[in-house]
Amino acid sequence: MMRTNSDFDQRRAKAVARAIAYTSTFTAERAENSEVWDVEGNRYIDFCGGIGCQNVGHRHPKVVAAIEKQLKQLTHTCFQIVPYESYISLAERINALAPGDFDKKSLFFSSGGEAVENSIKIARYYTRKPAIITFTNGYHGRSYMGMGLSSRMSPFKVGFRPFPTEIYRVPFPDDYHGVSREQAINAIEMLLKTDADPDSIGAVIFEPVQGEGGYNIIDDEFLHWLREFCDRHNIVLIADEIQTGCGRTGKMFACEHFGVAPDLTCIGKSIGGGLPLSGVVGRADIIDSVPPGGLGGTFGGNPLGCAAALAVLDVMAEEELLKRGLEIGARIDARFSAFARNPELPCIGDARSLGTMNAIEVVKNRSSREPDGELASAIIARALAEGLILIGAGPDRNVIRVLVPLTAPFALIDEGLDILESAILGCL
Ligand SMILES: Cc1ncc(COP(=O)(O)O)c(C=O)c1O
The whole-number pLDDT of residue 234 equals 98
- Closest ligand 1 atom to Cα of 276: 10
Longest dimension (CA), the chain: 68
Q: Which of 260, 193, 268 is nearest to 227 (CA)?
A: 260
- Give the CA distances from residue 171 to residues 94, 125, 379, in Å, rounded to whole numbers and listed in that order: 31, 26, 29
pLDDT-based confidence at 96, cuts 50/70/90? very high
Going from the Cα of 367 to the center of ligand 1, the distance in angstroms, rounded, reads 33
pLDDT-based confidence at 33, cuts 50/70/90? very high
Q: Is the pLDDT of residue 405 over 80?
A: yes
Amino acid sitting at position 305? G
Going from the Cα of 361 to the center of ligand 1, the distance in angstroms, rounded, reads 21
pLDDT digits (tens, 9 = 90+) for 61-91: 999 999 999 999 999 999 999 999 999 999 9
CA distance 268 to 218: 20
Judge if the beta carbon of residue 245 lies within 6 A of ligand 1. Answer: no
- Give the CA distances from residue 59 to residues 95, 275, 300, 366, 388, in Å, rounded to whole numbers and listed in that order: 26, 10, 22, 40, 19
pLDDT-based confidence at 1, cuts 50/70/90? low
User: What does residue 214 show for φ and ψ, rounded to 5 degrees?
Assistant: 115, 25
CA distance 229 to 223: 10
Kindly state the average pLDDT of the residues 98-125.
98
Judge if the beta carbon of residue 247 lies within 6 A of ligand 1. Answer: no
CA distance 115 to 246: 15
The whole-number pLDDT of residue 173 equals 98
User: If you ran DSSP here, which 8-state letter would residue 403 be given?
Assistant: -
Q: Which of 276, 267, 285 is nearest to 305 (CA)?
A: 276
pLDDT digits (tens, 9 = 90+) for 220-262: 999 999 999 999 999 999 999 999 999 999 999 999 999 999 9
- List, as one string, the DSSP characters of 349-396: EEEEEETTEEEEEEBS-TTT--B-HHHHHHHHHHHHHTTEE-EEESTT
Under 8 Å between Cβ of 246 and 270: yes
Under 8 Å between Cβ of 115 and 143: no
Q: Which of 7, 87, 56 is nearest to 302 (CA)?
A: 87
What H or E segment, with its residue span, contains residue 413? Answer: helix 410-427
pLDDT digits (tens, 9 = 90+) for 248-304: 999 999 999 999 999 999 999 999 999 999 999 999 999 999 999 999 999 999 999
Kindly state the average pLDDT of the residues 128-144.
98
User: If you ran DSSP here, which 8-state letter would residue 110 be given?
Assistant: S
Average pLDDT of the chain to the nearest whole number: 97
Under 8 Å between Cβ of 272 and 236: no
Going from the Cα of 138 to the center of ligand 1, the distance in angstroms, rounded, reads 10
The whole-number pLDDT of residue 23 equals 84
Q: Is the alpha carbon torsion for 224, 225, 226, 229 positive or negative?
A: positive
Neighbours of 320 (CB within 10 A): 11
pLDDT-based confidence at 2, cuts 50/70/90? confident
The whole-number pLDDT of residue 403 equals 98
Kindly state the average pLDDT of the residues 22-51.
96
Going from the Cα of 116 to the center of ligand 1, the distance in angstroms, rounded, reads 8
Under 8 Å between Cβ of 232 and 254: no
* All residues at 6 or more sequence positions from 72 whose CB lies less than 8 Å from its CB, including other chains: none
Judge if the beta carbon of residue 212 lies within 6 A of ligand 1. Answer: yes
Separation of CA 303 from chain center: 23
- Closest ligand 1 atom to Cα of 207: 1
Judge if the beta carbon of residue 213 lies within 6 A of ligand 1. Answer: no
Going from the Cα of 206 to the center of ligand 1, the distance in angstroms, rounded, reads 12
Judge if the beta carbon of residue 279 lies within 6 A of ligand 1. Answer: no
